[in-house]
Amino acid sequence: MKTLICNDFKDTRSGFGAGLTEAAATNDSIFALCADVTGSLKMGDFKKAHPERFIQTGIAEANMIGISAGLALSGKIPFAGAFAGFITGRVYDQIRMTVAYSNLNVKIAGSHSGITVGEDGATHQIMEDIGLMKGLPNMVVINPCDYNQTKAATIAAAEYVGPVYLRFGRPEVPNFTPASQEFIIGKANMLNEGKDVTIIATGHLVWPALEAAAQLEQNGVSAEVINIHTIKPLDNDAILKSVAKTRCVVTAEEHLMNNGLGDSVSQLLCRHLPAPVEYVAVDDHFGESGKPFELMAKYGLDKDHIIDAAMRAIQRKA
């Protein structure tokens, strides 16, 4: 594995804004709805280019989901955007009954997800949203890792017919995936092949997983790194193929340990290929106010914790 260098840092929410604007330029069925956070979700360019297709609902997320359902029933493709904590937790009933149960073509865009909201504190740092959304029948759950992938994922979500939860974040992170990438919903990306341990990462934890793999290689450990950008549907084949080779797993996510990516991977392995699994995730805690990447380190969501988890997983192999 080559030495990791990335000089390009961008926030994933800007990738959402760019992807939404680009998709709408060639598809006049796309509408954007926002709960008074247009700047935070980088929807300003869409609003400027397509004011007739932009709806500012104010801080009324439940109403926004209802309006989105109506637009979908009229043949439109609505993107309903707000902070992840409010677009999922505050309006779960509306999403469940109006969007998922009816299998409507509504895209739910949750920004400022996870603990990297930082100084906004525990009330805004939702770390259970993946679990909430993946538990809904018909709902696709996407958690891209950088600006380029978020842009590509947004365009792919616009083309997909059915409910989608698209999760992205606030801070600037390494932008390392190709700008011209093909984003296939439900198809994982193999980032580094290895034979000793499989590291399955999503969102902001993908780059630290690559950093961990590079350091492990220096210590004689060959780590396979898989980017699971789509948590539901999960790429079962890619995971099983990798674990059949390595026989142990680390999952890494900016989410609670309960009901996140790690749970989905463990359920898959329990049914088809039992193997040791170590989790890099938040262990049943709310967050707190602080600088984003200091919080990531405090709550065990960084390169060093991934390395430690990989060594534990290897030691547990039969």
The residues that are catalytic are 61
Question: What are the structure tokens assigned to 246, written together?
Answer: 């390595």
* DSSP label of 86: I
**Residue 278 φ/ψ, nearest 5 degrees:** -110, 140
d(CA 77, CA 71): 7
Q: Distance between CA 191 and CA 209 in Å, rounded?
A: 10
Q: How far apart are CA 312 and CA 172, in angstroms?
A: 30
Tell me which amino acid residue 275 is. Answer: A
Q: Rounded to an integer, what distance in angstroms lies between the CA atom of residue 131 and that of residue 141? A: 10
Nearest to 204 by CA among 271, 276, 115, 134: 115
Q: What is the DSSP letter of 280?
A: E
- List the beta strands (DSSP E) in 158-228: 164-167, 172-174, 189-192, 197-201, 223-227
Q: How far apart are CA 287 and CA 15, in angstroms?
A: 25
Round to whole Å and give the CA distance between 41 and 21: 12
